[in-house]
Homo-oligomer: A and B are copies of this chain.
């Protein structure tokens, strides 16, 4: 599937009409016109120069979505809601954004539970075929995109709304059983609970990527995306993948500060975190079963860093007026010398899409690099980008970042030695 002679790299976004994808697309186009800086992109910093990432201008975008609409219209909507995409500059790249619409195909909401199914067009959720029929259709879309644009490879990235937790039956663990289960019509029950073999949409997309020979990045906590059986299939196929759940806000700060308490032998008694947000993502998360996936992924960080489990709570509430301008209040109660109790509070006011979009671009470039270097399986060096990095125990942001730097150093060394 790899056309190595091409310098173009495809980026296939699951959820291509969502807020995050739209922000990413508007941003790439505006950076290309030098109307905004490359702020937020780690792969554009001096420390990461000299590594053979694909150029930003060589990325070509397409994707799946379960909703209708046009990228430009979503961008205007975002401007109206939060002002994060500048209206005056948006006009300049209107035509470039319009072209992308032609590369967005209808996705699937299969087995995603009612909170997500409500968002999609009827066609996206009323599917009569087997799961494998879906995988085939989705993969065909991806490969057609590659062919249409003569792309060296395509990096598939899941940006779709958080699904409820996935089932963990035998079919999730064994590649043969997994392949067999795809041949059924296994469906989640009406309340969104999934039987072991009723794989959710995110898993179907990932299977389509694997079948097409494309790397896969799961930027969401939809744990269904990468059951062990599918991880094994990626490994067998010689393909790199990574996830789960981009680390963009409260958890990012948490993983940056928590080590400080360890360095000072200050005992964390309680760490309460309250997130409020209001976009489509927030609406899906206001559904208790979808929220659980998110909270699981956010709450595991502390015990791993501190070495003990303090009293914790991670709350996520839907506040529609905020749209994507997430606000989080964290209260950390800790104990020091003489067993005296003190407190650190922080308030994080960040736009999720603004924080996530450059990470997605960084991840795409790292995945393209890994494919070229013929790495396969989980890209563990990318742990610092994820709340719940596959195959990595280290949750300390600083430790994770130094692992990334070490990888970059090696990558640079290899390039030099080849030259």
Interface residues on A, range: 35 or more
Provide the A10-44 mask, 1 if CB < 8 A to any CB of B, else 0.
Answer: 00000000000001001100100000111111101
Provide the A335-371 mask, 1 if CB < 8 A to any CB of B, else 0.
Answer: 1111111111111111100110111000000000000
Contact check, B41 vs A338: say whether CB atoms are below 8 A apart: no
Cβ of A238 under 8 Å from chain B: no
Contact check, A264 vs B276: say whether CB atoms are below 8 A apart: no
Cβ of A319 under 8 Å from chain B: yes
Contact check, A270 vs B319: say whether CB atoms are below 8 A apart: yes
Contact check, B344 vs A346: say whether CB atoms are below 8 A apart: yes
Contact check, A351 vs B342: say whether CB atoms are below 8 A apart: yes
Contact check, A349 vs B339: say whether CB atoms are below 8 A apart: no
Least Cβ distance of A229 to chain B in Å?
33
Please name the residue on chain B nearest to A346 by beta carbon: B346
Cβ of A322 under 8 Å from chain B: yes
Contact check, B263 vs A331: say whether CB atoms are below 8 A apart: no
Cβ of A267 under 8 Å from chain B: yes
Contact check, B344 vs A348: say whether CB atoms are below 8 A apart: yes
Known: A23-B338, A257-B253, A335-B39. A83 touches B85 (CB 8 A): no
Contact check, A340 vs B263: say whether CB atoms are below 8 A apart: no
Contact pick for A84, options B38, B338, B354, CB 8 Å? B338
Least Cβ distance of A352 to chain B in Å?
10
- Cβ of A350: which chain B residues have Cβ within 8 Å of it? 336, 342-344
In the bound assembly, the distance between CA atoms of A344 and B321 in angstroms comes to: 14
Contact check, A329 vs B331: say whether CB atoms are below 8 A apart: yes
In the bound assembly, the distance between CA atoms of A329 and B345 in angstroms comes to: 10
In the bound assembly, the distance between CA atoms of A345 and B348 in angstroms comes to: 7
- Cβ of A384: which chain B residues have Cβ within 8 Å of it? 263
Contact check, A42 vs B321: say whether CB atoms are below 8 A apart: no
Contact check, A252 vs B265: say whether CB atoms are below 8 A apart: no
In the bound assembly, the distance between CA atoms of A349 and B325 in angstroms comes to: 14
Contact check, B340 vs A265: say whether CB atoms are below 8 A apart: no
Contact check, A79 vs B84: say whether CB atoms are below 8 A apart: no
Contact check, B336 vs A358: say whether CB atoms are below 8 A apart: yes
In the bound assembly, the distance between CA atoms of A341 and B83 in angstroms comes to: 11
Contact pick for A79, options B88, B331, B359, CB 8 Å? B88
Please name the residue on chain B nearest to A260 by beta carbon: B256
Please name the residue on chain B nearest to A81 by beta carbon: B341
In the bound assembly, the distance between CA atoms of A87 and B357 in angstroms comes to: 24
In the bound assembly, the distance between CA atoms of A359 and B346 in angstroms comes to: 24
Cβ of A272 under 8 Å from chain B: yes
In the bound assembly, the distance between CA atoms of A346 and B328 in angstroms comes to: 11
Q: Say which one of A188-196, A197-205, A309-317 lies at the interface with B.
A: A309-317
Please name the residue on chain B nearest to A258 by beta carbon: B256
Cβ of A152 under 8 Å from chain B: no
Cβ of A274 under 8 Å from chain B: yes
Cβ of A401 under 8 Å from chain B: yes
Cβ of A86 under 8 Å from chain B: yes
Contact pick for A338, options B26, B327, B337, B348, CB 8 Å? B26
Known: A317-B313, A354-B342. A260 touches B42 (CB 8 A): no
Contact check, B340 vs A349: say whether CB atoms are below 8 A apart: no
Extra pairs beyond A342-B351, A396-B398 (11, CB < 8 Å): A36-B339, A39-B266, A39-B339, A264-B359, A272-B274, A272-B317, A321-B341, A327-B331, A329-B345, A342-B349, A346-B347
